[in-house]
Amino acid sequence: MTLAASQIDSPVVTIFLPLALAVIMFGLGLTLTIADFKRVAKVPKAAIIALAVQILVLPAICFGLVLLFALPNELAVGMMLLAAAPGGTTANLFSHLAGGDVALNITLTAINSVLAVVTLALIVGLSVAYFLDGDENIGLQPQKMLQVFAIVLVPVAIGMFVHARYSAFAARMERPVKIASVAILVIVVVLALIGNFEALSEHVLTIGAVALLLCSLSLAIGYWIPKLAGVQRRQAIASGFEIGIHNSTLAITIAISVIGNEEMAIPPAIYGVLMYLPAAVMLRLLRRHESVEA
């Protein structure tokens, strides 16, 4: 089901979604410095393993899940789009509560947000080629990549500039922007679900199962692969939440505003609601393990 032009051109799609994502990415930029990008040199093993899992392993797992559950083609592309999205700022909160290396979280989010401009185009392009027979009207063509660059990296860069130039103002704004980001996430998810109620009601159980499995597996492999590779526990925790909790708002915005297909926004919208369940379970397990070790 492809959207009619009137739906694509609605103010919610053309104005609110990109603006909402810009606020979230600006808030991310307020927490970043150039040192966050340089920090990867101090923990190269943890960062490289986490990025490899995020970019290579996770899309492969997601691809297997959408085939296993036989998701309809456009929903399958939407799920792959979500898997390609970088970690969200919520990952930092869960990592902090679990005793993870939040500095590594911030570093991974920063690097992933930059790499996403390329990795999103690659994974979405391959997904469209496989599930939609390479439909030239769907995907992230070069001109659409400029839109992704504008709504992802430009607000981050502005936020970083404000942080560097007006640190006191950035510190005051950090909490209000975080609150606004949570509110925006809720609004975006609700709008995406309401706007696709028919497709949602038909496939909600299947998409929900895939979303829960993807999140659970992402959290598990994000933690255990670095842990088994000899990465410190705090860094493995950071990796687990960074890989397991995605920026669903980014995926929704790209699906609707850039690609122009609301049905593809359903999987990230459902994921944005359900991801807190496996994340809370993992948080509980990690804290229980920590108390046993203590």
Return the higher-pLDDT residue of 293 and 240: 240
Q: Give the C-alpha separation, 223 to 240, whole Å.
A: 4
User: Cα separation of 13 and 191, whole Å?
Assistant: 10
Q: What are phi and psi of 123, to 5 degrees?
A: -70, -40
Contact 254, 20 (CB under 8 A): no
Residue 10 above 60 pLDDT? no
CA-based radius of gyration for the chain: 18
**Spatial distance between the Cα atoms of 115 and 153, rounded to a whole number of angstroms:** 10
130-164 per-position pLDDT tens digit: 888 755 555 455 555 666 667 777 888 888 888 88
As a whole number, the mean pLDDT across the chain is 80
What is the rounded distance in angstroms from the CA atom of residue 63 to the CA atom of residue 110? 25
Weakest mean pLDDT among 15-19, 53-57, 171-175: 15-19
Residue 67 has pLDDT above 80, yes or no: yes
- For residue 120, the model assigns a pLDDT of 83
**DSSP letter, residue 262:** G
Give the least confident one: 30-39, 156-165, 204-213.
30-39
Residue 184 has pLDDT above 80, yes or no: no
Taking 50 as the threshold, does the pLDDT of residue 95 lie above it? Answer: yes
- Tens of pLDDT, residue by residue over 222-233, are 999 999 999 999
Is-contact 100 241, C-beta < 8 A? yes
CA–CA separation, 54 and 119 (whole Å): 10
Position 62 scores a pLDDT of 95
- pLDDT at position 290 is 65
